[in-house]
Amino acid sequence: MKPEVRVHADVDELSRAAARWTALCARQAVSARGRFFLMISGGTTPAHLFDTLAQKAGLAMPWDKTEIYWADERVVPPTDPSSNFRLAQEHLFSRVSVPEAQLHRIQTELGPSAAAYTYRDELLRISGLQARGADQPPVFDLIWLGIGKDGHTASLFPGSADLDSPELAVAVRAPAGVAPTDRVSVTLNVLNNARCAAFLVSGADKRDVVGRILADEKGRASELPVARVHGLEQTIWFVDRAAFAG
């Protein structure tokens, strides 16, 4: 199933659209179920979305009813410049009022394997969503992901055995040349159980991989992690002109 693609002029317009989409999903989730379960990623593009969410009071984000989780994390201290938690903290959570208990960071100080195991438990604790059995993935309302130019998403890299893992979260070693090496990532079990899986894609270096997946009629790109992510209700790619060849 092809994703819905929304093309925006540049990263600022993309971020404004993504912020509006976040607020819409949040309001719908809160009105239907009382809480909004949001998962976010790292990389560079989310900083623009986080800044926009922090600046736009008019979006009426129900932060007090929003539970935040991370799709992946680099195994570094939470204060490290390459930490995905730190990115979100600096650009968003230091600027809006989210109760600390609602920020469910991946506890990297435990080391990769224990952090993945503890995070699995954290995912299973999501209140009210465990009814279908202890090892069932929770249902996130919205997961924001990015696309690596090699087709990775979260910290699920092409060719990795983690793509078929039965777990909810795994300790990952990134391929040679990708730093930091040690990561924790949620698996496709979690990503494919979200109501909406949404991607933020910006920049000319993404053009090849975006074109390759969208033009794929014969399933040749289906081995790429990005191409294997489908939301339960929606899969949306927010791309900017630089990343989209048409």
Minimum CB separation of residue 114 from ligand 6PG in Å reads: 19
- In the complex, minimum distance from the CB of residue 81 to ligand 6PG, in angstroms, rounded to a whole number: 13
Contact residues toward ligand 6PG (CB under 6 A) are 41-45, 71-72, 84, 146-148, 152-154
Supply the minimum distance, in Å, between the C-beta of residue 246 and ligand 6PG.
20
C-alpha distances in angstroms, 129 versus 33, 93, 118, 132, 195?
11, 25, 18, 7, 13
Nearer Cβ to ligand 6PG, position 31 or 44? 44
**Shortest spacing between CB 88 and ligand 6PG, in angstroms:** 11
Shortest CB 83 distance to ligand 6PG, Å: 9
Nearer to ligand 6PG, 148 or 231 (CB): 148
What backbone torsions phi and psi does residue 152 show, to the nearest 5 degrees?
A: -80, 160
185, β-bridge pairs: 72, 170
- Residue number with CB closer to ligand 6PG (35 or 155): 155
* Sign of the torsion formed by the C-alpha atoms of 115, 81, 94 and 28: negative
Q: Which is nearer to ligand 6PG, 23 or 191 (CB)?
A: 191
Strands of 14-124, DSSP E: 36-40, 66-70, 72-74, 103-104
Rounded Cα distance, 134 and 125, in Å: 9
Please tell me the distance from the alpha carbon of residue 129 to that of residue 127, in angstroms, as a whole number.
6
C-beta of 204 vs 215, nearer to ligand 6PG: 204
End-to-end CA distance of the chain: 19
